[in-house]
Structure 1
Amino acid sequence: MTIWVDADACPGPIKEILFRAAQRTKTQVVLVANHALRTPASKYVSFVQVTKGFDVADSEIVNRCEPGDLVVTSDIPLADEVISKQCLALNPRGEILDKENIKSRLNVRDFMDTLRSSGIQTGGPAALSAAEKQAFGNALDRWLSQHAG
């Protein structure tokens, strides 16, 4: 099993959690981004740099992920695509996205997008809290205990 990371927007503390988990559990973690990233020297962590462009990194993840893989992303449409490939999506705030909840999340995302298109200021996401980092680590540990090694 592989953990794919939509790394363009993934917060640094979440990447650090992933790097430590990869080493501890000997699980492959692949970061995909359209700009250069620093990764630790580890045979369990790799980086794929894609060309700049709309959804290029997302397409790379969708093309390379396999059923049962984990995809770390806050991108709801990407999560929907990988879920349709029988992967599990986990956002950096520790929320598991699966076939049971992805459609409602897409509806909320589309509604917020409509509001923004109408000129209504919806604001961005709040800063990642310590509780959310812990929730991410806990969800990652649960997945790893079921799939690693």
Structure 2
Amino acid sequence: MAPIAKTRYRGAMTEPSDAPAETIRILVDADACPVKDEVFRVAARHGVPVTVVAAGFIRVPQDPSIERIAAGPGLDAADDVIAERARPGDVVITADIPLADRCVKAGATVVSPTGKILTEAEIGMARAVRDLMTDLRSAGHETSGPKPFAPRDRSAFLQSLETVVRRSLRTRAGV
């Protein structure tokens, strides 16, 4: 079992970002994220720091480039931490559409755990579908939930994350 990384608690933070502005970061909405190990591997390969944000304790590898933040209780506490820290060039990993919207507006690139890069247009479409499904359920119609996470989703995620990280690193380097 890997040693546990140091945890920073929401109340102890005074700045929304500890990393220099010229460094890209990967911010992970870690509650129920099925691709954390893949994020750690890609980040290590490229020397990119990772911030893992969850409502409570979450186990991460002992690595000085991985920061773990326990955002505390509250419906959107982890989302708020991620949105406050997101900046242009950063990569955010989340399936949460409202959080993705906030991060895209901050200039970050958002990748879902299934590998979909969430642009403003994708987010608008996802919100429309979500609202439609909510209306159908409230009207008594039975709807199906999301498809189970599959190996092809993991593969698509790895490919998308690798592409996005390389692009962000080139952009930061001015290439």
Q: Is TM more than 0.5 here?
A: yes
Aligned to 2:123: 102
1:63 maps onto 2:79 in alignment: no
Aligned to 1:34: 55
Q: Which moved more, 1:86-95 or 1:96-105?
A: 96-105
Name the aligned partner's letter for residue 102 of structure 2: E
| Superposition deviation, residue 69 in structure 1 | 0.9
Q: Which moved more, 1:122-131 or 1:38-47?
A: 122-131
In structure 2, how many angstroms separate the alpha carbons of the residues matched to 1:111 and 1:86?
Answer: 28
Structure 2 regions of 5+ residues with no counterpart? 1-23
How large is the Cα RMSD of the aligned pairs?
Answer: 1.5
Structure 1 regions of 5+ residues with no counterpart? none
Native 8 Å contact 2:25 2:51 kept in 1? yes
Name the aligned partner's letter for residue 162 of structure 2: D
In structure 1, how many angstroms separate the alpha carbons of the residues matched to 2:89 and 2:65?
Answer: 18
SS of equivalent to 1:54: coil
Question: Which of 137, 141, 166 is the aligned partner of 1:120?
Answer: 141
Query: TM-score normalised to the size of structure 1?
Result: 0.91
SS of equivalent to 2:155: helix
Aligned to 1:88: 109
In structure 1, how many angstroms separate the alpha carbons of the residues matched to 2:142 and 2:156?
Answer: 28
Native 8 Å contact 2:86 2:107 kept in 1? no
Question: Which of 40, 56, 65 is the aligned partner of 1:19?
Answer: 40
Native 8 Å contact 1:72 1:89 kept in 2? yes
Paired positions, count: 147
| Superposition deviation, residue 83 in structure 1 | 0.8
Aligned to 1:5: 28
| Superposition deviation, residue 2 in structure 1 | 0.8
Structure 1 stretches of 4+ moved >4 Å: none
Name the aligned partner's letter for residue 158 of structure 2: G
Structure with larger Rg: 2
Name the aligned partner's letter for residue 125 of structure 1: P
| Superposition deviation, residue 100 in structure 1 | 3.1
Q: Which moved more, 1:136-145 or 1:110-119?
A: 110-119
| Superposition deviation, residue 115 in structure 1 | 2.5
In structure 2, how many angstroms separate the alpha carbons of the residues matched to 1:31 and 1:126?
Answer: 25
In structure 1, how many angstroms separate the alpha carbons of the residues matched to 2:101 and 2:31?
Answer: 18
Native 8 Å contact 2:116 2:157 kept in 1? yes
Q: Which moved more, 1:118-127 or 1:63-72?
A: 118-127
| Superposition deviation, residue 76 in structure 1 | 0.7
